Amino acid sequence: MMPSSPASFDAIILGAGGAGLMCAAVAGQRGRRVLVIDHAPEAGRKILISGGGRCNFTNMDAIPERFISANPHFARSALSRYTPADFLALIERYGIAWHEKTLGQLFCDGSARQIVAMLLDECAAGGVTLHLGDAIRDVDHADGQFRVDYGEHSATAPALVIATGGPSIPKLGATGFAYDLARRFGLKVVEPRPALVPLTLPQDEALFRSLAGVAAPVAARAGSADFAEAALFTHRGLSGPAILQISSYWRHGEPISIDFLPGRRGWLVEAKRARPRATVQTVLADFLPDRLSATLAQRIALPGPLDEKRDAVLKEVEERLADWRFRPNGTEGFAKAEVTVGGVATDGLSSKTMAARHLPGLYVIGEAVDVTGWLGGYNFQWAWASGWAAGQAL
């Protein structure tokens, strides 16, 4: 029996995550015949688990400076043409209730499922064909046509969009497929690293690991990056928003610096005047959780009442607590990372359309690209904006 001839489309999108679905919906509604293929059994799995099930779907302050890339200007064009307000307008058109949690972060009141359902409705409105649950066996390019073999099927199109994301959380079906494919088609890849990920501490920091479960508002620094949010001690090291944010900037071997009392200066010398018989630990306990203040006081090792200490010594303690160095020995890796820093190098892509410069018809969007946002809805905004940009160009 002759194998049936491949189905023909205007565009094939690999990956039914946020970026792929947005791109498919936009291109479909512009009249393109679009096929989306994903090996997972359901679309938008990362959307479903995001934001504790409520999806932090955008951030009202999604300025380009809050994205990490070898080319910090690359994201500017797409972000300016599809903005948080555009996505919010879509959400409101679907009557999805939302709220701002903190720092411009917008979440669904109900469930992340509403976002996936909305994107699938938008795809349906564009007549998009969605094929889930089959592995992609091969991708080829010849005579201006891309051919994709998946499961028992084949399809061809003059345009191919790589939207298979990054390798974080492999148990959800995440792979480095985008990088392999991009390399095969001549694009470069900036070394991928786990980001928005907890940091691990070496054995000699066991004292801090005994604080597992304790959280405190701190300012965390790595290099020139600085985040004032909560940090959380874990049984393996450090987590919490401040640490997740800083992990995207941290490089192996570097220290991270924690200010345990951000914004406070002179507090210990002032305490000496006001409460001469207090100790470092009792004063610390005014600002920090008890277990943390006890551990820090143990490390500082300056027992006895404050009025027995010189001001200069107390100032040194203040300085140490404002710049406490931890030297993480690693991260919890792609298994726990919310995103990937690095990815398909932007110098091979058009920032306006996300098209490969040297291979007409090839596009890369979403997390697969070397653009990574801060924690707080930035990564979805990049998925929507880059998907929209390519969807307009297909």
Ligand X SMILES: Cc1cc2nc3c(=O)[nH]c(=O)nc-3n(C[C@H](O)[C@H](O)[C@H](O)COP(=O)(O)OP(=O)(O)OC[C@H]3O[C@@H](n4cnc5c(N)ncnc54)[C@H](O)[C@@H]3O)c2cc1C
Window 356-385: contact mask with ligand X (x via CB under 6 A): ----------xxx--------xxxx--x--
What residues from 11 to 30 belong to the interface with ligand X (CB under 6 A)? 14-20
Choose between 163 and 189: whose C-beta lies nearer to ligand X: 163
Q: Are 108 and 57 in contact (CB under 8 A)?
A: yes
> Of 168-176, 211-219, 295-303, 321-329, which part binds ligand X (CB under 6 A)?
168-176
> Of 36-44, 223-231, 244-252, 345-353, which part binds ligand X (CB under 6 A)?
36-44
Choose between 163 and 222: whose C-beta lies nearer to ligand X: 163
Question: How big is the chain by its Cα radius of gyration, in Å?
Answer: 25
Residues across the chain: 394
Tokens of 175: 């792979």
Minimal distance, residue 338 CB to ligand X, in Å: 4
Tokens of 83: 């903005």
Minimal distance, residue 15 CB to ligand X, in Å: 3
Minimal distance, residue 24 CB to ligand X, in Å: 11
Minimal distance, residue 35 CB to ligand X, in Å: 13
Asked whether position 259 contacts ligand X by CB under 6 A, the answer is: no
Angle value at C-alpha 171, between 245 and 237, nearest 5 degrees:
40
Question: Measured at CB, which residue is nearest to ligand X?
Answer: 17
> Of 64-72, 171-179, 298-306, 312-320, which part binds ligand X (CB under 6 A)?
171-179
What residues from 175 to 194 belong to the interface with ligand X (CB under 6 A)? 175, 177
Asked whether position 173 contacts ligand X by CB under 6 A, the answer is: yes
What residues from 333 to 352 belong to the interface with ligand X (CB under 6 A)? 338-339
Asked whether position 331 contacts ligand X by CB under 6 A, the answer is: no
Minimal distance, residue 156 CB to ligand X, in Å: 17
Minimal distance, residue 315 CB to ligand X, in Å: 41
End-to-end CA distance of the chain: 35
> Of 164-172, 187-195, 237-245, 280-288, which part binds ligand X (CB under 6 A)?
164-172
Asked whether position 169 contacts ligand X by CB under 6 A, the answer is: yes
Which of 301, 319, 322 shows the shortest CA–CA distance to 311? 319
> Of 47-55, 89-97, 230-238, 249-257, which part binds ligand X (CB under 6 A)?
47-55
> Of 27-35, 82-90, 172-180, 287-295, which part binds ligand X (CB under 6 A)?
172-180
Minimal distance, residue 247 CB to ligand X, in Å: 13
Choose between 50 and 239: whose C-beta lies nearer to ligand X: 50
Q: Torsion angle of alpha carbons 42, 44, 50, 53, nearest 10°?
A: -50
Asked whether position 69 contacts ligand X by CB under 6 A, the answer is: no
Write out the residues near ligand X by the rule CB under 6 A.
14-20, 38-40, 45-46, 49-51, 55-56, 136, 163-165, 168-169, 173-175, 177, 338-339, 366-368, 377-380, 383
